[in-house]
Amino acid sequence: MAGELRFLDILSALARHEVAFVVVGGVAAILEGAPISTFDLDIVFHRTTENNLRLATVLQELNASYKDPAGRHIVPDSTKLDSINVHLLRTDLGPLDLLSRVGRNLTYEALLDRSIDYEVAGLQLKVLNLETVIECKEIADRDKDRAALPILRRTLELKRSGDD
């Protein structure tokens, strides 16, 4: 059963188990200052054997299962994390999307140079920078991505003008 979305609690669970990941998508845009709304948490995880095991432990703790249109109860595990690129999950703390890459096939390692370290409620988070969030949304090009782009681009402009 899917729970109420708790961004910080999911992030805390990932950090507690020392999962290597980058926050991407809407939550990354929000942490970068864009006033948008989102109803899930998207992360790109570092796909290594050790990290997959740590992530699988968190997913078990959160009672995660795949959003299966057929209604089957399929749980993620380290083997699936190693072989599947996109994991759309329900958890006790809300929807969680796990990606092995994003945008132009950018993996965790590639995203590190495009990420900013934020401290949020005592958690050290790697967060995709707004430039790359915009780039990813331009590539994804879904209706919801196109709808968000004007405010994301304007946020980037105002951030840059504020940095001058």
Partner 1 sequence: MQRDEIEAAQLEEPSPEDSPPNSIDHDDSLILWMLSLSPEKRLEVAQGFVDSVRILRSGRRAPVSRHP
Chain positions contacting partner 1, by CB under 8 A? 4-8, 26-27, 30-31, 33-35, 37-39, 118-121, 127, 150-151, 154-155, 158-159, 162
Where helices occur in the chain by DSSP H, the ranges are: 7-16, 25-31, 49-61, 78-83, 108-112, 130-140, 143-163
Tell me how far, at minimum, the Cβ of 49 lies from partner 1, in Å. Answer: 31
> Shortest Cβ distance from residue 53 to partner 1 (Å)?
28
Q: How far is the CB of 35 from partner 1 (least distance, A)?
A: 4
| CB contact burial 141-164 (16+ within 10 A = b; e otherwise) | eeeebeebeeebeebbeeeeeeee
CB of 153 to partner 1, least distance (A): 11
**Phi, psi at 21, each rounded to 5°:** -155, 165
Q: Are 127 and 31 spatial neighbours (Cβ–Cβ below 8 Å)?
A: yes
Residue nearer to partner 1 on the CB measure, 69 or 122: 122
Of the pair 66, 118, the CB lying nearest partner 1 is at 118
CB of 100 to partner 1, least distance (A): 24
Q: Which is nearer to partner 1, 41 or 81 (CB)?
A: 41
Q: Which one, 70 or 121, has the nearer CB to partner 1?
A: 121
Sign of the C-alpha dihedral computed for residues 156, 12, 51 and 71 taken in this order: negative
Tell me whether residue 47 or residue 126 sits nearer to partner 1 (CB atom).
Answer: 126
